[in-house]
Amino acid sequence: MQLSIAGGIRQFAVASPDGVAVIDGARRLTFRGLHDRSSRLANALLSAGLAPGARVAVLLGNRLEWPEIAAGLAKAGLVLVPLGTRSTPAENRYILEHSGCAALVVDRELSRAVAEPPPVVLELGGNYEGALTGASPTDPLVPVGEHDPFTIVYTSGTTGRPKGVVISHRSRVLTFYCAALEWRLGPGRVSVAVAPMYHGAGFAFGYAPVFTGGTVAMLRSFDPDGLLALVAEVRAQSVFLVPTHAHQLRASGAVGRHDLSSLDTLYFNAAALPAALKDWVREAFPGVDVHELYGSTEAGIVTDSRPADARPGSVGPPWFLTELRIVDDEGRRVPPGEPGELFSRSPFLMNGYLDDPAATAACTSPDGFLSSGDIAVQDADGHVTIVDRKKDMIISGGVNIAPREVEEVLAGCPGVAEAAVVGLPDERWGERVTAFVVPLPGAAPDPDALVARCREVLAGPKVPRRIELVTALPRNAAGKILKRELRKEG
């Protein structure tokens, strides 16, 4: 049997038809209903003239319809192209044109973000329900190969025009199964979809619970009390978060206001958790397993730092089915403890960048390893520490400086919530180390005191030449800091 995104939905419509698959406020969708509605959507799109392989854009916030749309597209052999809910019409136009989308499924409230929609449009709050009602509930069972594309996810464009990352059914299905094994998803378990479903990780960890027979509760928008109230209401056991959420939870003081006794698993992605913040998470959620995983849209999950063997600063050993290689600038493997560029090979890797073989070849080795673009160190036991983004490395006076090392020191200082460090042009040194610091609520850290602390633990070239206090750091939808925006501000 070919692995398909629709497989789990078909399976649990038989195994547990009355089980609740999705919770969205007062709305509930059973596996029977999910199977029925996704088949109707598939047939509605096929009847509208779309052929298997056609691409369908989806513009929705986190809501009940996400799983049925994903499963429906898979049943019809169509390819999902998610659009960001905060993207501009110009950004969406580029993605629609580049991917050649033939249809759009959109929330009416977001439709103004698409100035020139494709020929077929299904609008939630408009014709969507009518289209499903008028379509056949019989699963069309369109043949789809497991290596065929399921989705094209556009990168955030932090370094230029977004690239379309082509991801197969096989990649996603194996991610779901391994995620269920790792984070205890599946029948009888409830998870909360916090990160946006239009993002690669947000979709993977929002759909995996349903695909493996569990329940996902949709969080429409993030606020600390809203998340924790939902956890208490639905008795959720697991939640996927990004470090930004942890910062906000710590600043809000919301943890002590809710019954979180059902919670047993938290897992984090998008960026490494600063050591001080990870310590806070462990203290704030006693008895809860805290995992820190590392990966990318292109590579999928690469490593996982498990609670039983967590090491300070490490993102853990290779994940299931994953091989790692850390190499120098000439492509030679470096010994344990030496920094180099991190490559991975696994069944989770992308098929490639859409219509961009040059970009695909530039990040892929002849034997199928994919570059992460990160500088990492692997210890003798195989645990990985991310030093920094290769392109974020600062060169000051001929010295290579990893911003993350400086950020860790600043994040551990009193009154500091988080910090981001970049290199700004300097006539004498080439680049100067500049830090942007977000204070904790009610705190006012002294920049001179922060510099003094850095001098105590860092070599001279690594000490920030300037520290600027800011209310927030610019981030993309995945929670990653946009350092290019900080360089502009600097």
Distance from CA of residue 50 to its chain's centroid? Answer: 29
**Residue 295 within any structural domain of the chain:** no
Query: Domain for residue 258, yes or no?
Result: no
Task: Give the burial class of 363: count Cβ atoms within 10 A of its Cβ; 0-12 exposed, 13-18 middle, 19 or more buried.
Answer: middle
User: Is 271 strand, coil or helix?
Assistant: coil
Indicate whether 158 and 126 sit together in one domain. Answer: yes
Give domain status of residue 319, yes or no: yes
**Nearest-angstrom CA–CA distance, 145 and 170:** 9
Would you say residue 226 lies in a domain? no
476, two tokens: 């993309």
Counted domains in the chain: 3
Q: Do 369 and 473 belong to one domain?
A: no
pLDDT of residue 152: 98
401 and 374 inside one domain: no
Name the residue with tokens 């206001």. Answer: 257
The answer as to whether 232 is a domain residue is no
Residues of the chain with pLDDT under 50: 158-159
| pLDDT computed for residue 489 by the predictor | 76
In a domain, 238, yes or no: no
Is the alpha carbon torsion for 83, 87, 90, 94 positive or negative? negative
pLDDT digit string, tens, across residues 409-430: 999 999 999 999 999 988 777 7
**Last residue of some domain: 203, 221, 239?**
221
Q: Give pLDDT tens digits for 375-414.
A: 999 999 999 999 877 778 787 866 778 888 899 899 999 9
Q: Are residues 443 and 362 part of one domain?
A: no
In the prediction, which pLDDT does 429 show? 76
- Angle, vertex CA 436, rays to CA 430 and CA 442, nearest 5: 160
Same domain, 399 and 437: yes
Nearest CA-CA partner of 268 in 289, 290, 235, 285 = 290
Q: What are phi and psi of 285, to 5 degrees?
A: -125, 70
- Residue 406 and residue 326 share a domain: no
Q: Where are the beta strands (DSSP E) in 230-359?
A: 238-241, 265-268, 289-296, 300-305, 323-327, 340-345, 352-353
Both 338 and 438 in one domain: the answer is no
Of 113, 116, 65, 62, nearest in space to 86 by CA: 113
Task: Say whether both 177 and 120 belong to one domain.
Answer: yes
Mean pLDDT in the chain?
A: 93
Contacts of range 466-471, beta carbons closer than 8 Å, 24 or more positions apart: 466/432, 466/434, 466/435, 467/410, 467/434, 467/435, 467/436, 467/437, 468/434, 468/435, 468/436, 468/437, 469/437, 469/438, 469/439, 469/444, 469/445, 470/436, 470/437, 470/438, 471/438
Distance from the Cα of residue 128 to its chain's centroid: 28
Residue where one domain finishes, among candidates 221, 239, 268:
221
The pLDDT value recorded for residue 398 is: 67
- Residues 110 and 215 grouped into a single domain: yes
Domain housing 209: 7-221
d(CA 403, CA 127): 50
First-to-last CA distance in the chain?
55
The Cα–Cα gap between 197 and 477 comes to: 10
DSSP helix/strand/coil, 340 = strand
Same structural domain, 164 and 33: yes
Per-residue burial over 69-82, b = 16 or more CB atoms within 10 Å of its CB, e = otherwise: bbbbbbbbbbbbbb
The domain spanning residue 25 has which CATH number?
A: 3.40.50.12780
Question: What is the model's pLDDT at position 160?
Answer: 56
**Does any domain span residue 215?**
yes
* Residue given tokens 């959620």 in the structure block: 285
Q: Do 117 and 210 share a domain, yes or no?
A: yes
Task: Give yes or no: residues 26 and 145 share one domain.
Answer: yes
Answer yes or no: is 294 within a domain: no
Q: How far apart (Å, rounded) are the C-alpha atoms in residues 302 and 404?
A: 19
402: domain CATH number is 3.30.300.30
The residue among 324, 356, 389 that closes a domain is 389
Task: Map residue 161 onto helix, strand or coil.
Answer: coil
Q: Residue 364 is part of a domain; what is its CATH number? A: 2.30.38.10
Q: Could you give the C-alpha distances from 261 to 28, 111, 224, 228, 268, in angstroms and in order?
A: 23, 40, 17, 11, 20
